[in-house]
Amino acid sequence: MAATADITLAQIRKGLYWRKQLDKVFVIVGLLVLFSCLGLLATLFIDLVHKGSSRFGWDFFMNFPSRKAERAGILSAWVGTSLIMFVTALVALPVGVAAAIYLEEYATKNWFTNIVEINVTNLAGVPSIVYGLLALGLFVYTLGFGQSVLSAGLTLALLILPIVIVATRESLRAVPKAIREAAYGLGATRWEVTKDHVLPYSTGGILTGLILGLSRAIGETAPIITIGALSFIAFLPPSPVSGDFPFLNFEWLKSEFTAMPIQMFNWVSRPDQAFQANSAAAGAILLGMTLLMNAVAIWIRYRFRKKINW
């Protein structure tokens, strides 16, 4: 009895020592993996900026694409991207917020609400190129919108709808029940409660969701290639503001277009080194915009969280 206890005690000590060493090894491995992933992102960004640095400048922003790499610019690309993002935000925000309000504030738990919820979850997992096929069949040909800014904006709106819906629902859910009940107690209807009390408190979360959605949409390439974005466009869509009555025109919605990621894709697939510098410059701008949007979203979330004290 005593002999066995002796042996096991020594063994336990030795075992414990090794097990603790293993713990330390894992900590090192974990940190290594974590920071090499983050390091890769940094490397990528630095490399893009470095390789593209020769191209940054007024001309690059104000020139149309060209067969000569050093004269090519991204004017039609960033204008196209801005117009598409405008349409996307204009569609995704109201539809997404309305759908979220319905699911969170109005819907009773039944089979129908279940179907809507399962759909929202599923749509988030559908590959983005499938949205492109949907848009090609539905918007471009069946509804006759053509290969236009409108088709692209609607497609990306459908694509980010789940993101907006989920973010809005989360921020609606964070509003305490007591606030709703206080308003109901004063005789407000459901819509009045939602519009005057719940929505103002959730603005931060909704904005965060919208910006995160747009930051996803801005980099999406596959669905708008499928619609038929052109990579060589040496003209701008008609201006949305005109000199004559009624001062606004919507011709730009029907215009053919190109976009930042499309332009980058077009340049990256050329073997010419000079075009790869263009591609790097376009990529750096695109990546910079994405990171900026994410930073703004995080900042808004932080600000609103700090401001609200239940």
Partner 1 sequence: MSQGTSQKAKSSVAALLRYRKNRDRVIELILLMAGLVAVFTTVAIVAILVYESSFFFSHVSIKDFLTDTMWTPLFSDARYGIMPLVSGTLTVTFVALLVAIPLGTIIAIYLSEFATHRLRETVKPILELLGAVPTVVYGYFALLMVTPFLQKFIPGLPGFNMLSAGLVIGLMIVPYVASVGEDAMRAVPRYMREGSYAMGATRLQTALRVVVPGAFSGLAAAYILGISRAIGETMVVAIAAGMQPTLTFNPTEPAATITAYIVQVSLGDLPHGSIGYQSIFAAGLVLMLMTLVFNVIGFFLTRKFREAY
Query: Minimum CB separation from partner 1 for residue 245, in Å?
Result: 32
Nearer to partner 1, 52 or 237 (CB): 52
Instruction: Report, in angstroms and rounded to the nearest whole number, the Rg of the chain calculated over CA atoms.
Output: 26
- Separation between Cα atoms, residue 19 and residue 35, nearest integer Å: 24
Nearer to partner 1, 251 or 305 (CB): 305
Query: Minimum CB separation from partner 1 for residue 249, in Å?
Result: 28
Query: Minimum CB separation from partner 1 for residue 247, in Å?
Result: 29
Amino acid in the structure at residue 155: T
Are 110 and 41 a contacting pair, CB within 8 Å?
Answer: no
Nearer to partner 1, 9 or 38 (CB): 38
Nearer to partner 1, 94 or 242 (CB): 94
Query: Minimum CB separation from partner 1 for residue 144, in Å?
Result: 11
- Separation between Cα atoms, residue 230 and residue 65, nearest integer Å: 11
Query: Minimum CB separation from partner 1 for residue 29, in Å?
Result: 6
Furthest C-alpha separation in the chain: 104
Amino acid in the structure at residue 79: V
Nearer to partner 1, 236 or 287 (CB): 287
Nearer to partner 1, 63 or 294 (CB): 294
Are 82 and 252 a contacting pair, CB within 8 Å?
Answer: no
- Separation between Cα atoms, residue 111 and residue 146, nearest integer Å: 37
Place of tokens 């904005």: 207
Alpha helices in 74-148 (DSSP H): 75-101, 111-125, 128-135
Query: Minimum CB separation from partner 1 for residue 73, in Å?
Result: 18
In the three-class reduction of DSSP (H, G, I as helix; E, B as strand; rest coil), residue 159 is classed as helix
Are 277 and 55 a contacting pair, CB within 8 Å?
Answer: yes
